[in-house]
Structure formats: structure tokens, C-alpha cells
Amino acid sequence: MIWAYLYNIVFYASCGVTVLATILMISRHNAVHALLYLIISSLSLAIIFYLLGAAFAAALEVIVYAGAVMILFVFVVMMLNQGQRSVVHEAAWLPASGWILPSVLAAILLSLLLIGMYSDQPLPPYGVHGVAVKEVGIALFGPYVLVVELASFLLLSGLIGAFHIARKMPSHMSSNTLEEVDHG
């Protein structure tokens, strides 16, 4: 029964870390601090996915959310803070109070990971029906191949849309030219 006990600890500690990190995230005034807490929230949610028997989804959560989406947010935070204001901001951005609490939450997650790694056997999904990656792959490219096609269309349209929306207008097409067109 030691495994059920260990599973309980890891599961509910991850739940607590997720909720705490999310509460702290939506109450931050500073975008970078909020992003730190969002990373913690994604990582602990990945642990919960793994404990629910969805290892593939856990890996995707880490790669896509804690990796790719977070990089996008960090890029935009960097681009939004150009100019003189950024110097003042940079100095005030990461005081000790800003990174200590995310570090504590990340340390909790690390200890959970170490519990799973250094126990006699890897922590099994306990009492839930795990779904192996093989089954997911077979279903993805069998009856659900339309979902894959739709996802690729969505990502392509997102790429084109983001490129079109966020590109800098050439100088002869700046906003005053557009206003002249409107008034003319």
C-alpha cells in the first residue's frame, strides 16, 4: 500500500502547486513574474497528466506550453518594453521576492520527480487506466486522421495570420497614408 500512499502525496501536492501557482500568476503586476508562475503551473499540470496515465499528453504539455508558448510570450514581453522605460523596468524586474516563490514551487516539483525516479520502481499510474502512446498514435492516424489535418490547417492559418498581423508596415503604407485614403 506504500505505492498508493506515495501516489496520493505526489498527486495532491501537484494539485496544490498548480492551484497556488495559478492564483499567484493572475495576481502579479509584472508580466515576467506571471510567466514564471505559468511555467510552474504547466509543469505541475504535466505531472498530473502523467499520474492520470497520459504520458504522451504530459510530454506535450511540457514541450508545447512550458516550451513553445512560453517563448512566444517572453518574446512579446521583450518587444513591448523597448525604449527608455525598459531600463527602469529591467532593474526592478527580478528582485529576490520575484523569483524565490517560483523557485520554492519548482523545488517541490523537483522533489516529486525525484520521489518518482528513486523509488524502487517508477511511480505507476495507480488505479486509473493508462493510455499508452501506441494506442494514441494508432487512433490519431486511424479514425481521427481528420483531427490531424484540421490541426495542421489551424497551425498554418495561425502562422500566416500572425505574420500578416504583426509585421511592420512599410513606411509608404504607414497609418497616415491609410488615413489619407480614408479622407480622400
Partner 1 sequence: MDSQYIDHAMVLAGILFCLGLVGVMVRRNLLFMMISIEVMLNAAGLAFIAAGSAWGQPEGQIMFLAVITLGAAEVAVGLGLTLLLFRHHNSVNVDQLNQLRG
- Judged by the rule CB under 8 A, the positions of this chain that interact with partner 1 are 4, 11-12, 15, 18-19, 22-23, 25-26, 31, 34-35, 38, 41-42, 45, 48-49, 51-54, 56-57, 60-61, 64-65, 68-69, 72-73, 75-77, 79-80, 125-131, 135-136, 138-140, 144, 147, 150-151, 154-155, 157-159, 161-166, 175
CA distances in angstroms from 37 to 70, 131, 168, 171, listed in the order given: 11, 29, 31, 39
Q: For partner 1, which is the closer residue by CB, 119 or 174?
A: 174
From CA 7, how far away is CA 37, in angstroms rounded?
24
| Residue 132: CB minimum distance to partner 1, A | 8
Nearer to partner 1, 114 or 151 (CB): 151
Nearer to partner 1, 171 or 175 (CB): 175
Is the Cβ of residue 110 or residue 156 nearer to partner 1 in the bound state?
156
Question: Alpha-carbon distance 78 to 54, whole Å?
Answer: 34
User: Alpha-carbon distance 73 to 51, whole Å?
Assistant: 28
CA angle, 16 as apex, 15 and 20 as ends, to 5°?
120
